[in-house]
Chain A
Amino acid sequence: MTIIRTDPAGIPHCPHIDKERELIHVDCASHIYPDGSVGIHDMCFYVQKNEIVALCGPNGSGKSTLIEHLNGLLIPSEGNIAVNGRSITTGEHTNLWREVGIVFQRSDDQLFAPTVLDDVMFGPINMGMSREGARSAALEALEAVGAADLVSKLPNYLSGGQKRLVSIAGILAMKPLIIALDEPTSDLDPVHSGMIENLIFDLKQRFGISVVIATHDLDLAARIADRICLVRHGSVFAEGTPAEIFYDTVLLKETGLKPPQIVQVYLAYCQRLGIHTDYHPLTIESLMEFIDRK
């Protein structure tokens, strides 16, 4: 069921969640940048073990700011953020990068080392691993993301998709509990977008890592997320399963988003046939199944 995150009085609140499974808890956090602009305000958000959460919202809604809070890069001006039980607002945020890895939107800013191997080894070495240990962790991570053949390449000569894979490997090599990806498929061709999508699935299923993605690619979110959080004006406006959120066209319009393509096609198809159904396909396969049944 969709949870609208403001009560009738307009006061934000976090839903009650299972403390055992909770990894991240953002409790009414606000962040104001030095220039006075508001990054997030009264943000309530949580991430549980082994789930993929998609933060969906238009540009400038506060998705990236929230992600930077999860890793301790930014500290909230107000409110509280706890990661794995540790509050980052009370000075316990040192080494938070060990638990939450961030894959930034621009891979060129993330890949700074001379070679791919050096870059992927960077995190493990900072974690205190020996050079040999870091090397094997890096090779393992590159293998896991399907970029083992890029090990001795220079970052300058990688394609956008390869850079994204290497950026993810750089985080995976640190074996974090949570990986947050900022616009993971932006500027990628469909083949590489598909690879990243499969990889995000793998992070959850093979490695048991919880994933937070900030995206305005709602098709991607519809296919891979367990839970959708709609972000608007710096706070989570509504949340629910992909089917609940993406079939609520009024809610999406209020957030400034359009439904995913598959939803648009399905709704147009139902309208043409003059039918109304509770079936909510989010993938091509489920849509085809519906059409076949008709």
Chain B
Amino acid sequence: MSATNLSDHIPDLDLITYYAETRRSCFTVLSPWTKFSLLLLIIYVVTISRNIILLAGLYCIILVAYAGAHLPVRNLFSWYTLPVLFVLSLVGIMAWNEPGIAIITFTIAGFPFMLTDNGILLVITLLLKALIVVTYSLFFLMTTRYEHFSAMIYRIFPSPIDQIFLMAYRFLFLTLAMTGSILKAVRSRGGGLIHSIHMQGRLFAEIFALVFIRSFERSERVQKAMIARGYSGSYGTAVEVPALHMYEYVFLGICSALVITLALNDAGFGRILAL
């Protein structure tokens, strides 16, 4: 855990950016547009598909690509904690009493509870969907240089949304660093966010209030510095996003065709076409 990171289970923005800026692999030479298009296709696939084999296969492919890009797999599994907890907190309720073969049954206060094979499949399916998107998003972030990422934000979003994104990303680091330095000061005197939050809840509430106030003050200073250089409502990025190579067009074409086939099959058109 780095000094500025709250926990091993929260993605470390510094580490992500470090990998994006320094780690080189065959995936870093791909155009960011290709990786972004793939992200959209993946989101579409996980939205429409409930085929567990397809989802498991897709997850394995993405995990292999992640490891192949020399990205930190152990950290990835630690970062899974939050999405897994998120999914389980939602699906944990939905999974019960699904129609199917009962595996666990019990009764509480006269209400029967039954966990079926379909219930477990639902949990696994939704977990896979979440992990696919999380893993690919991290892969995308950690194989795309920030200058290209910011240039994409600038081109995709209209003003002032792009400005908000660009500045939020930059100042997230500073806010994390500020939080980190306050936490270091607390740790240096025997405190700790996780183990003493119950004992020192008030102290940590004060720390976060302080971070908020300092961030607010910083935003005023930043605004002043921008106005001092003639800021009038917008700023752009200098870098061009690398264009797609021919093989990337072919690759995206194939992927798109596969996704369309999958979508048609799911909609029942596959059977019609087969006729």
Distance, CA A155 to CA B172, complexed state (A): 12
Distance, CA A108 to CA B222, complexed state (A): 8
Tell me the B137-174 residues at the A interface (CB within 8 Å).
146-147, 150, 166-167, 169-171, 173-174
Could you tell me if A102 and B228 are in contact, using CB atoms closer than 8 angstroms? yes
Q: Given that A106-B221, A126-B232, A156-B17 are known contacts, is A112 also in contact with B226, CB under 8 Å in the complex?
A: yes
Could you tell me if B171 and A112 are in contact, using CB atoms closer than 8 angstroms? yes
Interface 0/1 of B1-25, CB less than 8 Å to A: 0000000000000100100010000
Q: Does B235 contact A (CB under 8 A)?
A: yes
Q: Does A131 contact B (CB under 8 A)?
A: yes
On chain B, the residues within 8 Å of A234 by CB distance are: none
The residue in chain A whose Cβ has the minimal distance to the Cβ of B169 is A114
User: Taking chain B's interface residues, is the majority helix, strand, or loop, or is none over half, making it mixed?
Assistant: helix
Q: How many residues of B contact A (CB 8 A)?
A: 30
Could you tell me if B147 and A125 are in contact, using CB atoms closer than 8 angstroms? no
Q: Given that A106-B221, A108-B174, A112-B170 are known contacts, is A118 also in contact with B228, CB under 8 Å in the complex?
A: no
Q: Given that A73-B227, A114-B170, A115-B147 are known contacts, is A104 also in contact with B239, CB under 8 Å in the complex?
A: no
On chain A, the residues within 8 Å of B229 by CB distance are: 97, 101, 122-123, 126, 170-171, 174
Could you tell me if B174 and A117 are in contact, using CB atoms closer than 8 angstroms? no
Tell me the A89-144 residues at the B interface (CB within 8 Å).
95, 97-98, 101-102, 104, 106, 108-110, 112-115, 117-118, 121-123, 125-127, 131, 134-135, 138
Could you tell me if A127 and B225 are in contact, using CB atoms closer than 8 angstroms? no
Could you tell me if B238 and A109 are in contact, using CB atoms closer than 8 angstroms? no
The residue in chain A whose Cβ has the minimal distance to the Cβ of B226 is A112
Report which residue of B225, B226, B232, B237 has the largest number of chain A beta carbons within 10 angstroms of its beta carbon: B225
Q: Does A4 contact B (CB under 8 A)?
A: no
Tell me the B17-55 residues at the A interface (CB within 8 Å).
17, 21
A114 contacts which of B146, B174, B226 (Cβ < 8 Å)? Answer: B146
Q: Does B245 contact A (CB under 8 A)?
A: no
Distance, CA A151 to CA B146, complexed state (A): 13
Instruction: Report A's interface with B, CB cutoff 8 A.
Output: 68, 71, 73, 95, 97-98, 101-102, 104, 106, 108-110, 112-115, 117-118, 121-123, 125-127, 131, 134-135, 138, 152, 154-157, 170-171, 174
Given contacts A108-B218, A154-B17, 20 further A-B contacts (CB under 8 A): A68-B224, A97-B227, A97-B229, A109-B224, A115-B146, A117-B239, A118-B147, A118-B237, A121-B238, A122-B226, A122-B229, A125-B235, A126-B230, A126-B231, A135-B238, A138-B238, A152-B239, A154-B146, A171-B229, A174-B229
